[in-house]
Every structure is written in C-alpha cells, then in structure tokens.
A and B are shown apart, each in its own frame.
Chain A
Amino acid sequence: MAGFEKLTSNAVPLDSANVDTDQIIPKQFLTAVTRAGFGKHLFHDWRYLDLHEQEPNPEFVLNKPQHQGAEILLARENFGCGSSREHAPWSLTDYGFKAIIANSFADIFYGNCMNNQLLPIALSSEQMDAIFSAVESDANTQICVDLKQQTVTCGDATFNFEIAEHHKHNMILGLDTIGQTMQSGDAIDQYETTISDWYQ
C-alpha cells in the first residue's frame, strides 16, 4: 500500500457523536466477497432518500456541493463504534477519505483504519470545536495533516496528536504487517513448543 506522510485537503464536517459502523456501511452491503466498491454505499441511510441510491439527501453533509472532493472527514466522540466490520474503513477509503479527525474512536475501528492506510486522529474537544467552526464558516478551509511531525494545522492553529510508534512507522511506509510478523517465525515456532496439552 502507498505510504502516508502529509495530506492537505478540505474536510467534511460530520457533527455527530457515536456514529456506528451500521451507519457507516449498513448490513445489506456486507455480502460482498471483495474489498472494492463500498464507497458508493458509505453512510447509505443518511446519504440517500431511497433504497436504490438514486435520490441523494440534499440535507446530508456529504452531499453538499461545498464539501465535494474532501479527503478528510471530521467527526465527534466514539466514531466507528459497534461492529468489527472492516467494510467501514473500506467504504471510507473507497469514497476517497485518507484521514478522519474526531474527538475519539472506538477501538476495533481505530485498528481497522490503521490496517487500511486510513489515518484516525483524535484531538481534544476544544481543538475539534475550533476545526469544526473553521470548516463550517468556510468550506474551503484547508487542513494539513503531517504524520511525521504528528500535527494537524488548521488556519493559524497547529495541534499535536498521539499515535503508537509502530502504527506511525507502518503508515508512513505502507508496510505489510503480516510480512513483518512472519519475520518472527522462529519465535512463533518456539512459543508453540511451550503450549499446555489442554490447548493443543
């Protein structure tokens, strides 16, 4: 996968807490057996007025003309709660998002993003309020994410964010984590000789 270093883009301000994975990608789209093509179903129930995705809901923020082409999604507390479906990050990346900046994330979703080169960034409530207000008053506000420096810049303000070292490393290089783990093959072989009989 391509690496991630810096991103500058406008953003879609989705001002809702507890956006769950059923909202991000509803169950009727989970029958697919490939990873491709989920973007058109992203936020289906909110985004379309009909079941066949013919009538976009003009009120929904993703459909507003001023937010088209954005590669950053802004959200609120506990984004991605609910099911472990990786179809959620697949639908976000397929739509074109490369980073999500929110007050907080659910654990499984956060890990799933990392495995799909979709950068989840958690900032404080005050920092999120500042970014939401900048984007809501001017949709063309450019937000700059610098993963190496671990910063988000919006207008004159620059905020630092936390990320685990290995996540950062893998995200920057776009590494294959399974390939990395396979380098620990000897350690896995060794561990397997120590497993108790009752777990065999």
Chain B
Amino acid sequence: MAQTMYEKIWQRHLVDQIGEDVLLYIDRHLIHEVTSPQAFSGLQEKGRKVRRPDKTFATMDHSISTRSLAIDACGPANQLQLQTLMKNCEENNIQLFPIGHEKQGIVHVIGPELGLILPGMTVVCGDSHTATHGAFGALAFGIGTSQVEHVLATQTLKQGKAKTMLVNVSGKLANGVTAKDIILAIIGKIGHAGATGYVIEYAGSAIEALSMEERMTICNMSIEAGAKAGLVAPDQTTFDYIEGREFAPTGETWEKAVEDWKTLVSDANAEFDTVVELNGNDIAPQVTWGTNPGQVAAIDQTVPSPTDFNDHVEQGSAEKALTYMDLQPGQAISDITVNNVFIGSCTNSRIEDLRSAAAIAKQGKVADNVTAIVVPGSAKVKLQAEQEQLDKIFIEAGFEWRLPGCSMCLGMNDDILKPGDRCASTSNRNFEGRQGRGARTHLVSPAMAAAAALNGRFVDVRKFEDA
C-alpha cells in the first residue's frame, strides 16, 4: 500500500504494540534546563538509569542571560536550574553544551547545526518547537517532562498515530517574502488549532526551493497550527546541508544512508487525510495583529473587525485580541507603530535570518524611540555572523548585538518587555504576556522586523533594495 513519509518513519520505529498504541523508538533526545530537572529527579526517586546517554544531548538556552556569560547573571533561581542541568548531565554521562561553549545555543538551532538530526530519525525534546527538525524529514515533536523521563529511562514513547495533512505550496515567492511569511500565511488559512491531531507534510515548488534554514522556520511553527509535527521530504538540499557536519555519518556509511533516505519520501499515490493548497505567488509579507499566530494579515491589509469572522469562537477571540493589542478594526497594518524589535528565537535566529535582517539594517538607523536587539541562535551562528561583519552592520544601525539564547521569545531571562510595549518579533508566539505582562507582540520575518526597527512602524519590505 502507498505510504506517506510519516507512515514510513512510524513503521520503522515500532518496538511493541500496547493496545491501540505503540511503543515508538526515539533516535535523538535533546534536553535543556527548563523541562528536564523534574524528569531526572523522577528517575532518581525510582532508582532508574538513563538508558542511552549516547543518544541524548543537552544545552543551556532558555534561562540564560544574553548580556553575560556568568551563570548567575539572571538570579539565583535561574542559576540553580542551570547548575541542576550540569549536575544531571555529569551524573548521567550526557554531553552538555553549557554557557560559553562553542557549540552552545538554542536547542533547535544546535541540533541541526551539529549534524545531530538526520532524515528518518525520531527526535524529541521537552519543547514544543521540536517540530523544527521535521525540516530534515525526521519525525520530531515536543513532549512534556513526564515523557522526557520516559524517554530517558526507556528510549521509547507510547504514541497514538496522528492523522496526515499535506500542505502544498505551489508557485514562487516574490522578493522580500520569506519562509516565515509562508508559515504565517498557512496558519492564517487553517487556523491556530487547524492541524490539531495531524502531522503536516509541507510540499510543492515553493517549499522545494527553500534552503534548510528556511524549511526549519516552516516546520518550527507547525505547533502554532496545533500540529504534532511538520515534515519536509529530504532531498539534495537536505543531504548537502548535513554532509560534513560533526555528528553526521561519513564515508561508506554516508553513501548508504543517503540511498536509504531517498526512499523516505511519500509515495506518489499516498493518501493524506486532508490536503491544503496555497499559491506562493500570492503570499505577501505577513504581520500578526492578534494574540494567537492564526490572527495574521498581509502588510498591505488592514486590521480586521470581529464581524469579519463567521465563526463565533473566532469572533470572540478577535474581540479579546483587539482589546489586548489596543488596535482598531480597519486600521492599516502599516500604521501600527512599535517601540521594540526582537530578532532571534528558534524560528528565526540562523545565519540566513541575520543576513536578511542585516541587508535591511544597513539601509538606515534604528528609529529614535525603538529598542532593537539581535540575538543569534547559537555560538556558531554568532561567530559566523561576526566573521561576515554582520554584527558591525547591526551595531552601526543602532541594534544591540547579544549572546545566543532563547531570550525575548519567552523572556525567561531579563529580556522582557514592559506593559504597553509593542514589539516586532521574529519569534513564534504572540500570546498575551508572552514577552512580558501587558506587552504586545507582532510576529514577522527578520527582514520585516529590521524594517520596522528603522521606521518605528511596519513597512512593506518589498519596497527595500536587496529585500
């Protein structure tokens, strides 16, 4: 029978059947300081061991400062959490990339960067943006701490099978339109819970044309449509990205692996439970106006009115969002002013994101009333950007150039906004209070964020040179 890529990866990882659910083997487990401490203490209470420390990698990203490498820079609670991770990794023989390490960074940036993520793998992490790794044709999803403990102890997870959704993006993107705009447009179309219960496969000419970093941006936000995971079929772009990375296979093993990975793609006549079609030619730069990522409009549109929605749930959500965001129906998106800009997060902090933001940043200066920060996704991204002198472009334009971490995406450190602040952010969630109590978040691409920094309001990045 014809199979989708999801079904093929699923089939390859079956360990045991338990009623309607199966025990799925996990090839790669990534951990960080926030969602792992209670898992390790759970193991300890029961006298259980980490089954496969060699398949487990740890980094520090959420609770760390982006201004200082000191472990106590964000106060004693954050320090204790970081020290707990160090202790747990040491006691269990797990490789850790701590603050200041050349391989440290946001968990979803360093995994691919180090070649830890390969096509056909199952990948989990106590973080909902684990879906990022689906860009490699790996089945990757976020889990809770009890499941982190389960994977540490057994290297497996009990799972029920998800439904399958094909999101086909045809055509070609216009200049200045990015992967971030594609995924925001998709979420806008299917809704914030539109893919709940599904694994999405992204396909079509506009997806195939994307680089690995762009595919990661797309898969990263699958959870923002409610999906379990997002997948892109592995192809030459995938293999070229992985080859030669530190943990990637080499020599004859590499050759055999690539041959195998080519068979992972969905069969031509495979059936999906749902199919969604978008035309890439029609996608314009996107800006969220509400308090969930599905509440999004194009830069040349206006803020909608709750009455524009037929569904009463959408209506109610829109009303509540407009109040929180202090926006009026009919207001042009390009009339929304911002006083903060955040370029970073597991969605948009890779080298291509920084290049794209820098190409805009070099065309002006950050507006007087705007505070703008750039937070590279990893130590390696930071180094690469500095070798390309992108840091100088940002600093000269008036942006702050920070140390790698999750930073203002969720503000577990001191990178938080004040009540009433309004931020153009390249992150993934515009929830109420996400970047600080009472603060307002608009999700955009790196280029759009840089353009907003220079203008103090949203502008159509397609009007810039080299957009």
Q: Does chain B have a CB within 8 A of A93?
A: no
**Residue B128 at the chain A interface, CB threshold 8 Å:** yes
CA distance A108 to B316 in the complex (A): 24
Selected contact of B256 from candidates A166, A192, A197, CB within 8 Å: A197
Flag if A26 contacts B77 (CB, 8 Å).
no
Which of B23, B81, B126, B193 contacts A181, CB < 8 Å? B23
Does B244 lie at the interface of the complex (its beta carbon under 8 Å from any beta carbon of A)?
no
Beta-carbon contact of B316 and A116 below 8 Å = no
Known contacts A30-B34, A197-B256; is-contact A107 B226 (Cβ 8 Å): yes
Of the listed stretches A31-39, A65-73, A143-151, chain B binds A31-39
Contacting residues of chain A (106-126) with chain B, CB-CB under 8 angstroms: 106-108, 111-112, 115-116
Q: Is A59 interfacial (CB-CB < 8 Å)?
A: no
The answer to whether residues A164 and B20 also contact, given A31-B63, A111-B144 and a CB cut-off of 8 A, is yes
CA distance A151 to B80 in the complex (A): 44
Asked if A188 is at the interface of the complex by the 8 Å CB criterion, the answer is yes
Shortest C-beta distance, B222 to chain A (Å), equals 11
Write the B399-416 contact mask toward A (1 if CB under 8 angstroms, else 0): 000000000001110000
Chain B residues within 8 Å of A26, by CB: 433, 437
Stretch touching chain A among B35-43, B103-111, B206-214, B326-334: B35-43
Cβ–Cβ < 8 Å partners of B434 in chain A: 22
Please report the number of residue pairs spanning A and B whose Cβ atoms sit closer than 8 angstroms.
189
Taking a contact as CB atoms closer than 8 A, the residue among B25, B38, B316 that contacts A35 in the complex is B38
Chain A residues with Cβ under 8 A from B35's Cβ? 84-86
Binds A, one of B145-153, B172-180, B281-289, B351-359: B145-153
| Pair B121/A199 contact, Cβ less than 8 Å | yes
Indicate if the CB atoms of A84 and B38 lie closer than 8 Å: no
What are the residues of chain A within 8 A of B320 when measuring CB–CB?
Answer: 16
Q: Is A156 an interface residue (CB 8 A)?
A: no
Bitwise, B11-26 to A at CB < 8 A (1) or not (0) is 0000110111101010
Q: Is the C-beta of B66 less than 8 angstroms from some C-beta in chain A?
A: no
Chain B residue contacts of A89, Cβ below 8 A: 144
Nearest-CB residue, chain A, relative to B252: A197
With an 8 A cutoff between CB atoms, is B457 at the interface?
no
A184 touches B23 (CB 8 A): yes
Q: Is A157 an interface residue (CB 8 A)?
A: no
Whether, in the assembled complex, A2 has its beta carbon less than 8 Å from a beta carbon of chain B, the answer is no
Q: A121 to chain B: closest CB distance in Å?
A: 16
Whether A188 contacts B128 by the Cβ 8 Å rule is no
What 0/1 pattern do residues 98 to 132 of B give for CB contact below 8 A with A?
00000000000000000000101100001110100
Chain B 286-312 residues near chain A, CB threshold 8 A: 292
Q: Which residues of A contact B317 (CB under 8 A)?
A: 17-18
List residues of chain B with CB within 8 A of the CB of A45.
Answer: 432-433, 437
Closest Cβ of chain B to A33, distance in Å, is 4
Considering the complex, which residues of chain B in the window 53-87 have a beta carbon less than 8 Å from any beta carbon of chain A? 62-63, 77-78, 80-81, 84
**A-B pairs, 3 with minimum CB distance:** A115-B146, A112-B144, A198-B257
- A selection of 19 A-B contacts at a CB cut-off of 8 Å is A20-B432, A22-B432, A22-B434, A23-B431, A27-B410, A27-B411, A31-B78, A31-B81, A32-B81, A45-B432, A81-B192, A81-B292, A82-B429, A84-B126, A111-B147, A176-B46, A188-B23, A198-B118, A198-B249
19 extra A-B contacts, CB within 8 A, seeds A18-B192, A23-B431, A199-B120: A16-B320, A18-B292, A20-B429, A27-B412, A28-B412, A30-B34, A31-B63, A31-B81, A45-B433, A81-B193, A82-B429, A84-B130, A86-B145, A111-B144, A165-B20, A178-B153, A182-B153, A184-B15, A195-B25
